[in-house]
């Protein structure tokens, strides 16, 4: 009986923490001509890119904490240079990029291109 009470309390604690943790919603620069299903599919891809960014890049290039987006504002030139270095298998490129599949890296880079930087930066 005590085990059941502990399990129920742990579940209640998990739900409480999950519900109280602020969910960071990223805004994107989606062209107006992208409508309907095309727009939804692009946003889903960008959100997946955001998850991949958190897992693979945020340790060195910013993090998401307390409702703030602290990702550096990479320029399009920087993003294209990074992609080129990856495609050329440049050994000076980040070690993290050497572990990422090309499709996943493309999703991360698209996330960076389309995201609107947070206005709540310090």
**Could you read off the pLDDT tens digit of each residue along the chain, which spans 122 residues?**
777 788 777 776 666 555 444 455 678 888 889 899 999 999 999 999 999 988 888 877 776 665 566 788 888 898 898 888 888 877 676 666 678 888 998 999 999 999 887 554 43
Please give the structure tokens belonging to residue 26.
């990223």
User: What is the domain extent for residue 74?
Assistant: 26-114
Report the number of distinct structural domains present in the chain.
Answer: 1
Name the pTM for this structure: 0.67
Residue 73: give its domain's CATH number. Answer: 1.10.760.10
Question: What does DSSP assign to residue 23?
Answer: P
Structure tokens given for 63: 């993090």
Domain membership flag for residue 17 = no
């Amino acid at each position: 009986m005590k085990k059941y009470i502990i399990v129920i309390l742990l579940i209640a604690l998990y739900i409480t923490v999950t519900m109280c943790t602020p969910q960071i919603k990223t805004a994107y620069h989606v062209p107006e001509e992208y409508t309907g299903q095309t727009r939804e599919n692009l946003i889903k891809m960008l959100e997946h890119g955001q998850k991949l960014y958190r897992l693979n890049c945020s340790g060195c290039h910013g993090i998401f904490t307390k409702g703030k987006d602290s990702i550096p504002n990479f320029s399009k030139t920087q993003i294209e240079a990074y992609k080129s270095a990856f495609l050329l298998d440049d050994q000076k490129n980040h070690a993290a990029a050497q572990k990422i599949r090309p499709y996943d890296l493309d999703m991360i880079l698209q996330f960076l291109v389309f995201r609107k930087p947070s206005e709540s930066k310090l």
